[in-house]
Amino acid sequence: MSKYAPLSRHLSASAGDEWRASFSELESVLGFALPKAARASRAWWINDPDKSHSRAWAAHGWEVGDVDHAAERVVFRKGGAAAELPRREVQPPAMREAAETASARMHATRALGMTAMVTASLAVVAGLGALLARGAMRRRAK
């Protein structure tokens, strides 16, 4: 049994063709807090039969029609009326390639930054070592 079964039961018992709910109302029905992804990403709300949370509303003919993250509200609609969100987001190859390139560039930049930090730290340690050695030699000379 899915942890989203309470939502499925709630929607199956609903008489109307639309349920407008705040995220808090939805959490009351579920009995737990929505995941961070639900509050931050439109992708979480996509009507995807491969996702357990999506199957909870799809099991009784419901779809997500609209999500307003700023207002923390979601609209569920019965039947095929919810066409505002795609069934699946398919990333075109060019976009995927650009994202992979940007990700690789970001990792390379981070690695370069870390290398610079380590090199600078080693230079500081070497400089401090030289100062200590110089001070020790001066003390011996006196």
Tens of pLDDT, residues 41-68: 999 999 888 898 999 999 888 999 889 9
Residue 32 sits in the same domain as residue 73: yes
Residue-number span of the structural domain to which 12 is assigned: 5-81
pLDDT value of position 94: 62
- Indicate whether 86 belongs to any domain: no
Q: Is the pLDDT of residue 112 over 90?
A: no
In a domain, 16, yes or no: yes
Identify whether the C-beta of residue 19 lies closer than 8 Å to the C-beta of residue 69: no
Same-domain status, 24 and 70 = yes
Is 113 within 8 Å of 84 (Cβ atoms)?
no
Give the residue with greater pLDDT, 1 vs 129.
129
Give phi and psi for 68, each to the nearest 5.
Answer: -120, 100
Pairwise CA distance, residues 36 & 73, whole Å: 14
Average pLDDT, the chain: 83
Q: Please tell me whether residues 46 and 97 are part of one structural domain.
A: no
Specify the pTM.
0.55
Q: What is the pLDDT of residues 17-44, one digit of tens each?
A: 999 999 999 999 999 999 999 999 999 9
pLDDT of residue 89: 47
Give the C-alpha separation, 49 to 135, whole Å.
72
Same domain, 69 and 23: yes
φ, ψ of residue 77 in degrees (nearest 5) = -125, 140
12 and 77 share one domain: yes
**Do residues 69 and 23 make contact, with C-beta atoms less than 8 angstroms apart?**
no
Quick check: 93 pLDDT over 80?
Answer: no
- Residue 111 shares a structural domain with residue 54: no
Note whether 96 and 115 are same-domain residues.
yes
